[in-house]
Amino acid sequence: MSEQKHKGKLKIFLGYAAGVGKTYQMLTEAQHLRQQGCDVVIGYFEPHGRKETIAQTEGLETVPRLVRGHRGATFEDMDTAGILARHPQVAAVDEFAHTNVPGSDRPKRWQDVMVLLDAGIDVLTSLNVQHIESLNDQVWHVTGIRVRETVPDWVVQEADEVVMVDVTPRALLHRLERGVVYSPEKARKAIENFFTESNLTALRELALRQTAHQIEEKRDELPTPVPVRGNAPREERILLWLVPHPSSAMLIRRGRRVSDYLGSPCRAVYLENDEAAVTPWLHFCRNLRIAVSGIPCADPARNIADYARAMGTTQIFVTRNTPELAKLVRLVNDMQVTIVAERVRADSHKPNGT
């Protein structure tokens, strides 16, 4: 019988904005491991002209990038096959949320990292908190910027270690002003737009909460004594009702986030007649590891209520665009119904999801 391969370990260096030092710390860790005799390579590194960070690559082997053409232009991406062929003990892979060039074997870099982990290669990587999928709406509400490159929460949760790389917003702004992060012109534009002190403070708080949540999850994985007396707490079960409206994206993120905090199962349902219209949300659910089921369209509220009861649901999440909402609330008075409102920024009249 062949020996089963062990899965590689994933260590994420998490920050709240460019320039906090995620990549620098990732490479510092790589250098430390190399000095201990570990076989380490740089799978992908984006220097951004940062001299101190570039200096941290000295002595580390780099796997050459893969060059691809797209629409008449040339792009460079991580050579996942090259790393697999080299098969180091550890690979440092920058920019975990990166979208690969069209035509690549996998659309996202985090998917490439999963391949490396499956091959038994440990991976060090960098990620900003705004790229975590379930936080997408909160980040948009705080900053007014919709982040398009995201990583599913389950991927982050499966990391063996998440290390927050932190500096104060004021210190980060000083780095920008000194030209450490970007060129002077790009830094000026950044400070006027995304890198405002209020934005950075809010993003830093999200990153701190995310890291604390990861620590709590790891702690919960430890064995706990069985209580001698008293009933075990009720297990929460969450059900999402998807509708053909952009608000379903926020519904899915909110439901996933709550279920993760509660450590509870999360499922989603849709009316069978809506299947074509909700296809994007079905893919979104599967990407976030949410099971999805179609429900007959005759008497929607009652069918949803019956399904929810059969699944032992304790909380139903819906949007204001849900059909027969009032009827559903009457039929499931033994469950908690949460109406997920669309976030609207103070400076915008457009609802979230557009």
Task: Parse the chain into domains and list their residue ranges.
Answer: 10-220, 238-340
Cβ neighbours for 147, distance < 8 A, ≥ 6 positions apart = 130, 131, 136, 139, 140
* Least confident segment among 188-202, 259-273, 302-316: 188-202
Domains 10-220 and 238-340 in one fold: yes
Is the per-residue pLDDT at 140 higher than 80?
yes
pLDDT at 176: 87
Is the per-residue pLDDT at 161 higher than 80?
yes
The CATH number of domain 238-340 is 3.30.360.10: no
Which structure tokens are listed for 126? Answer: 């960098």
* Residue 174 CA, distance from chain mean position: 28
Predicted confidence band of residue 342 (pLDDT cuts 50, 70, 90)? low
How many CB atoms within 10 Å of residue 136? Answer: 19
Alpha-carbon distance of 235 to 39, in angstroms, equals 45
Cα dihedral sign, 28-166-173-171: negative
Tell me the CATH class for 10-220: alpha beta
Q: What is the mean pLDDT of residues 318-341?
A: 88
Alpha-carbon distance of 127 to 162, in angstroms, equals 10
Predicted confidence band of residue 41 (pLDDT cuts 50, 70, 90)? very high
pLDDT at 156: 93
Q: Is the pTM of this model over 0.85?
A: no
